[in-house]
Chains A and B, each alone.
Chain A
Amino acid sequence: MSALPEASLRDSARVVFVGILPGVLRGLFSPRRRWMKWLTALDMDARAVKALSGLRAKHPGQGARLLGGRIVVLWGTDAIREVLDKSADVYASDSGAKGKGMSHFQPDALTLSRGKEWRDRRAFNESVLSTSERVHPLGERFLAVVDDEVTRLRIGGELSWTEFESLFDRMTLRVIFGDRSRDDQQLTGLLERLMGEANRLVGLSETDDYYEFYGLLERHLRDPEPGSLISRFADAPQSDTTRVVHQIPHWIFAMRDTLGANTYRALAAIVADPEVERRVRTELEGADLSDPAAVDGLSYLGGCLEEAMRLWPTTPMLAREVTRQTTLAGETLDEGTQVMILNTFNHRDRDQVPDADALAPERWSNGNRDYRFNHLSNGTQGCPGGPLVLLLGKAALARMLTGYDLSLREPQLEGAGSLPHMLDFFAIRFAARVAA
């Protein structure tokens, strides 16, 4: 039996309409508040899971070919591993809607690179972000930033996304550029605008905002503040193809928007379940939150954060284009084939993931990466900022939970056993008061 059989046209169309299209409508780069609300109301991700489960039941191998083989959808861990381990080379992530849209605001980003350029940029990113270290060398300062920002958060009885977004906005600016950039909302605003434009995928051209934005980034680099990520540039490996300035925007939105949303959802999931909250608070008791090693050691809390990322993946799918004819799971793929890894489905695939819809932080306690779960991706293109965002996210959760008494006002989450497929972070609200 073929590992990648051909799906019927009807099934292909279903996958495209419920599995892929909603991701585009939601906003590939900058989440659209209104679409998020509608798609959540329609519970679109649940429909996607259902459609894919049906398809997988028919073709239980590694995946299926759609639309005459132009698109391949993968659900088998082996095939996913094969693709992700050859990413940025045989499988490029710079194509299709992602390539088109992202080029509008970060045409030379690592994630859009391949071959020699990718290796060059990867080395730079890994060096600045300290990918190989569990704790970033500047971790202590970053934790102080998180502490300071959580303390300065103004909450009048209620915590909503607006406050939380601005918390992460300031944290991000201070971590990347240093304390004096705390109020540089012009920078994040420009990026947000460019990303919003990129969502529409068509009619994009270089704008004044683009040059303005990169001009501002360059301005920050003239005199890098010690203790910031950009202060590490001078010692990082780089060449004229690295395009160092172009590596920054991804960090900004990964830290500010993506990590912000994930942390916010994790917070909701934690306080919605008294047992989970109790275990988190037990872990936090006596922990020195100014010590990076101690924060890194908060494994249950870390599991909660990764669970939020798994349950509600901010990147609904990973798309790769085959750059030269190759074989996958023993089958030939032609150059130009689009390979889709649908996180929305794979993360909630009840046949392969035990307790797929539950918050199960223990899942992450052994520390191994799992190729089924790709919120931080895996393989060669695994997120180079992974350890850093986990550290920051855990620190923010820890400070929020120790600094405030929080209870979820909206939406209602019915305990950790059966969490909904969609959780609109724009709509999450907490009752909040400063902890005694």
Chain B
Amino acid sequence: MHAVFGRINEKRQWHELPFPISLLNLLSLRLDLRDMNLFDTSEELKTEATEEPPPEARTARVPGGRWNDLKDSEMGSTDSSFTRNINPDRIKPEKPPRLHDPSARTVSLELMTRDEFKPATTLNILAAAWIQFENHNWFFHGRGKAEATMDVPIEDSDDWPDHPMHVRRTVSDGASRDDGAGDRDGIDFGNTESHWWDGSQLYGANQETQNAVRTFKDGKLKIGDDGRLLADPDEPGIDLTGFNENWWFGLSCLHTLFTKEHNAICDALQKENPRWDDQRLFDTAWLVNSALMAKIHTVEWTPGIVNNPALWSAMNVNWSGVLGQNVKDKIGRLGDSEIFSGIMGSPQEHHGARFQLTEEFVSVYRMHPLIPDDWKLYEHQSGKLVQENEFVELATRNTRSFMDGFDVSDLIYSLGIEHPGAITLHNYPRALQRHTRIDGELMDLATLDILRDRERGVPRYNDFREEMRMPRVRSFDELTPNKEWAEQIRRVYNNDIDKVDLQIGMYAEPLPKGFGFSDTAFRVFILMASRRLKSDRFFTTDFTPEVYTQTGIDWVNRTKMKDVILRHYPELTPSLEGMPNAFLPWHKVSGESQNGSSSSSKVAKRFRGIKKAAEAINA
């Protein structure tokens, strides 16, 4: 397969091939990527256990993610290093002058500044909030230290208060390591979250945080009588939850929703198992809720943002296999094959490298253009526009007070009907280009998005493509069909196509049909999306009724995002009626323009068409 598609892909990329050949091409790419793009940075994969796992870790997740792998307790746990999708021998963290060639601030201003809001019309803002919600599940590099900064050169005419701009360095992992391995030339950076898909954004990445969000009664998480999360006692304006950095109301809505879902799962489990104690209820609900979020991400969010028949199929294959969920429900798994019966419940497998998320994975999830600057808030019953706000008014320390003026269902409705920004050049939210963090630090996240890749040695666009075995682009015209962009990029990078930053290339390149982000980003994604399922014991070997209970397994298999929303906010039913995917633009309630609703039904219709075709193949 490698030989055949290798030849074909020299001329044409997978998405240019007809379905279902495109699907076979995708599977082939994933096999290649597994073979050639998984690397350990500092530690080898352990093949034998050296330590006996604690009994509770066998059937439950542990805060911080230790003991997911029973032979290697530290794998994927909080504070362990990111690994790479690129041979570490070829990783070169950039240093000045290259680090600032060209200045990341220039790149931000010249190429990323939003000229006009370019919406992603096939999606709703819930999809934007969702990916941030999940990023917080997976990774965070920490805040860095105020005294260790990089000085970003800045034009005299720039109205940024500091010249140069000071940006905190990412804290390298090597310094804190006592095994003498050193920091491998500064390519190891720690993840303050657990790498596992374990819902740490809700449940915390350590015991202390987890204790703070638990009620210790009936397995439940804390939530107010008013249906809102509690306030974080240490951070005014912010909710109390497992991870509450970068806070705004969209995140708050999702955290509220899945906190409620956790508690609903606890209720169902308790009903069947009245004698279970708080810990067992909590542990099991945690497993179920985490698996549900992973499923929603895999079979709903992803096909929503990459609305392509091959992808639709591939994602369902990942989850439930070529044979589909119905066959699996009726006759169970057909052996261990992940192709026939999906990754869920197949044997755990790391494909030769310890499971840790990668720096490249972090890079391709830089999707800040999804965030709009100007927000419209509606009342869900009448559909009436009640308020318009700028992002800063509904984010960070303003979040809770902003939300006090609304029912959560109004906010979710508003997220459901409005579009996020398209992930392209010149669509970076103004608010994030001049963003005051909750601790008062002023930052340009666009500058950061560029600088972080350089700092961490994530290659620039062309080198990155080569690492992913994609063809290099030879000229600015080949990079993008948008001539004005081609000129601007050429100017900023002084005619050197090989200097173009990964983010800029990804935002500039033409997208495959139906895609919300680039094919280049997608290469990392096809590898890592399946890996974060396949490496996790609780999605594979231990995705069983014995560990989850049958109720838990059924809950995961039978619930979709729409069900979660309607379970807790049934008043939103009219907007979600008939929607095949909760991340597509919802129906607007009457009183709004007909255009809106007809465009949402058009998107839904196309989506249903693709889904049907994909299901026909899957069946």
Decide if A240 touches B496 in the complex (CB within 8 Å).
Answer: no
> Would you call B483 and A108 a contact (CB within 8 A)?
yes
How far does the alpha carbon of A215 sit from the alpha carbon of B478 in the complex, in Å? 9
B151 contacts chain A at the CB level, 8 A cutoff: no
Q: Which of B405-413, B431-439, B468-476 makes up part of the contact surface?
A: B468-476
What's the Cα separation between A242 and B487 when bound, in Å? 9
The answer to whether B475 and A240 have CB atoms under 8 Å apart is no
In the assembled complex, A211 has its CB within 8 A of some CB on chain B: yes
Chain B residues contacting A219 (CB-CB under 8 Å) are 495-496
Give the CA-CA distance A210 to B473 in the complex, in Å: 12
A222 and B494 contacting across the interface, CB-CB below 8 Å: yes
In the assembled complex, A221 has its CB within 8 A of some CB on chain B:
yes
In the complex, chain A residues whose CB is within 8 Å of the CB of B488 = 240
B495 touches A218 (CB 8 A): yes
B487: A residues at CB distance < 8 A: 240-244
Kindly report which residue of chain A lies nearest to residue B499, judged by CB atoms: A222
Are the C-beta atoms of A212 and B474 separated by less than 8 Å?
yes
Q: How far is the CB of A331 from the nearest CB of chain B, in Å?
A: 38
Contacts of A244 in B (CB 8 A): 487
Q: Which residues of A contact B483 (CB under 8 A)?
A: 108, 241, 243
Q: Nearest chain B CB to A138's CB is how many angstroms away?
A: 21
User: Shortest beta-carbon distance, A140 to chain B, in Å?
Assistant: 27
CB-based contact B484/A218 at 8 Å? no
B-side contacts of A243, CB under 8 Å: 483, 487
Determine whether B497 belongs to the interface, using a CB cutoff of 8 Å to chain A: yes
Highest count of chain B CB atoms <10 Å: which of A212, A215, A221, A241 = A215
From known contacts A211-B477, A214-B474, infer whether A245 and B490 are also in contact, taking CB-CB under 8 Å: yes
Residues of A contacting B473 with CB < 8 Å?
211
CB contact between B497 and one of A108, A215, A240, A241 (< 8 Å): that residue: A215
- Residues of B contacting A212 in the complex (Cβ-Cβ under 8 angstroms): 474-475
Asked whether B484 lies within 8 Å of A214 as measured between CB atoms, the reply is no
Report the separation of the CA atoms of residues A214 and B478 in the bound assembly, to the nearest whole angstrom.
Answer: 9
Minimum distance in angstroms from B508 CB to a CB of chain A: 14
- In the assembled complex, the Cα of A241 lies from the Cα of B483 at a distance in Å of 8
The answer for the CA separation of A218 and B462 in the assembled complex, in Å, is: 15
Residue in contact with A214 in the complex, picked from B477, B491, B494, B496, CB distance below 8 Å: B477
Nearest opposing residue in chain B for A212, CB measure: B474
Find the residue from B473, B478, B495 having the highest chain A CB count within 10 A: B495
Query: Interface digits, B487-527 against A, CB 8 Å rule (1 contact, 0 not)?
Result: 11011001111000000000000000000000000000000
Interface string of A221-247 (1 = CB under 8 A from B): 110000000000000000011111100
A108 vs B475: C-alpha distance in the bound complex, in angstroms? 15
Q: In the docked arrangement, what's the CA distance between A214 and B475, Å?
A: 6
Measured in the bound complex, the distance between the Cα atoms of B490 and A208 in whole Å is 19
Knowing A108-B483, A240-B487, say if A222 contacts B496 (CB, 8 Å). Answer: yes
**Given the complex of chains A and B, what is the CA–CA distance between A211 and B486 in angstroms?**
13
B478: nearest chain-A partner, CB-CB = A211
Are B475 and A241 in contact (CB-based, < 8 A)? Answer: no
Docked pose: A245 CA to B483 CA in angstroms = 12
Closest Cβ–Cβ distance, residue A342 to chain B (whole Å): 34
Chain B interface category by residue count: 10 to 19
Measured in the bound complex, the distance between the Cα atoms of B477 and A208 in whole Å is: 12
B494 touches A215 (CB 8 A): no
- Look across to chain B and name the residue whose beta carbon is closest to the beta carbon of A218: B495
Least Cβ–Cβ distance between A161 and chain B, in angstroms: 31
Residues of A within 8 A of B476 (CB): 214, 218, 245
- Interface members, chain A 110-145 (any B CB < 8 Å): none
The residue that A241 contacts in the complex, of B484, B490, B496, with Cβ under 8 A, is B484
Give the chain A neighbours of B497 by CB distance below 8 A: 215, 218
Contacts of B475 in A (CB 8 A): 211-212, 214-215, 217-218
- Docked complex Cα distance between A214 and B487 (Å): 13
Please measure, in the bound complex, the distance between the C-alpha atom of A240 and the C-alpha atom of B496, giving whole angstroms. 17
Q: Is the CB of B474 within 8 A of A211?
A: yes
Verify A215–B474 contact, CB threshold 8 A.
yes
Contacts of A240 in B (CB 8 A): 484, 487-488, 491
CB distance from A119 to the nearest CB of B (A): 17
B496: A residues at CB distance < 8 A:
218-219, 222
Q: Are A222 and B484 in contact (CB under 8 A)?
A: no
CA distance A277 to B415 in the complex (A): 84
Q: Give min CB distance, B112 to chain A, whole Å.
A: 15
Q: Which residue of A lies closest to B487 (CB)?
A: A240
A218 to B479 CA separation, bound complex (whole angstroms): 13
Q: Mark A136-167, 1 if CB is under 8 A from B, else 0.
A: 00000000000000000000000000000000
Closest Cβ of chain B to A128, distance in Å, is: 16
- Minimum Cβ distance to chain B for residue A236 (Å): 13
| Chain B residues with CB below 8 A from A108, complex form | 483
Question: Which of chain A's residues has its CB closest to B496's CB?
Answer: A222
Smallest CB gap from A108: residue in B: B483
CA distance A243 to B491 in the complex (A): 11
CB-nearest residue of chain A to B474: A215
Q: Shortest Cβ distance from B396 into chain A, in angstroms?
A: 35
Q: Looking at the assembled complex, report how far the CB atom of A295 sits from the nearest CB atom of chain B, in whole angstroms.
A: 33
Instruction: List, in ascending order, chain B residues with CB within 8 A of A210's CB.
Output: 477
Q: Inside 8 A of A214's CB, which chain B residues have their CB?
A: 474-478
Q: Nearest Cβ distance between residue B188 and chain A, in whole angstroms? A: 34
Q: B495's contact among A211, A221, A241, by CB below 8 Å, is which?
A: A221
CA of A221 to CA of B497, assembled, Å:
11
- Cα–Cα, bound, A243→B490 (Å): 10
**A117 smallest CB distance to B (angstroms):** 10
Chain A, Cβ-Cβ closest to B484: A240
| Contacting residues, chain A, for B474 (C-beta < 8 A) | 208, 211-212, 214-215
Tell me how far the C-beta of B154 lies from the nearest C-beta in chain A, rounded to whole angstroms: 22
Complex contacts, A241 vs chain B, CB 8 Å:
483-484, 487
In Å, the complex CA distance between A42 and B494 comes to: 51
* Cα–Cα distance between A222 and B492 once the two chains are bound (Å): 11
A220 shortest CB reach to chain B, Å: 8
A214→B497 CA distance, assembly (Å) = 11
CB-CB < 8 A to A221: which residues of B?
Answer: 494-495
Smallest beta-carbon distance A233→chain B, Å: 10
Shortest C-beta distance, B352 to chain A (Å), equals 35
For residue A38, give the distance in angstroms from its CB to the closest CB of chain B: 37
Assembly CA distance A243 to B477 (angstroms) = 10
What chain B residues lie within 8 Å of A215 (beta carbons)? 474-475, 478, 497
Residue of B478, B483, B487 most packed against chain A (CB within 10 A) = B487
Within B431-489, the residues touching A (CB, 8 Å) are: 473-478, 483-484, 487-488
What chain A residues lie within 8 Å of B477 (beta carbons)?
210-211, 214
Taking the closest CB of chain B, its distance from the CB of A89, in whole angstroms, is: 21
**B478 contacts A222, C-beta separation under 8 Å:** no
Least CB distance, B425 to chain A, in whole angstroms: 12
Q: Is the CB of B490 within 8 A of A218?
A: yes
Query: Which residues of chain B are near A208, meaning CB under 8 Å?
Result: 474
List the B residue with the shortest CB-CB distance to A220. Answer: B495
Return A394 CB to nearest CB of chain B, in Å: 33
Give A212 to B474 CA distance when docked, in angstroms: 6
Complex alpha-carbon distance, A290 and B370, angstroms? 62
Distance between Cα atoms of A221 and B493 in the complex (Å)? 11
Q: Which of B473, B483, B491 lies at the interface centre, i.e. has the most chain A CB atoms within 10 A of its CB?
A: B483
Name the CB-closest residue of B to A230. Answer: B495
Q: How far is the CB of B345 from chain A (nearest CB, A)?
A: 46
Question: Nearest Cβ in chain A — how far from B492, in angstroms?
Answer: 11
Q: How far apart are the CA atoms of A219 and B488 in the complex, in Å?
A: 16
Interface CB pairs A-B, < 8 A, 20: A211-B473, A211-B475, A214-B474, A214-B475, A214-B476, A214-B478, A215-B474, A215-B475, A217-B475, A218-B490, A222-B494, A222-B495, A222-B496, A240-B491, A241-B483, A241-B487, A242-B487, A243-B483, A243-B487, A245-B476
Taking A215-B475, A240-B484 as known contacts, 18 extra A-B pairs with beta carbons closer than 8 A to each other, sorted by chain A number, are A108-B483, A208-B474, A211-B474, A211-B478, A214-B475, A214-B476, A214-B478, A215-B474, A215-B478, A218-B475, A218-B476, A218-B490, A218-B496, A219-B495, A222-B494, A222-B496, A243-B487, A244-B487
Q: Which 5 A-B pairs have the closest CB atoms?
A: A215-B474, A214-B475, A215-B475, A221-B495, A211-B478
A residues apposed to B, CB below 8 Å:
108, 208, 210-212, 214-215, 217-219, 221-222, 240-245
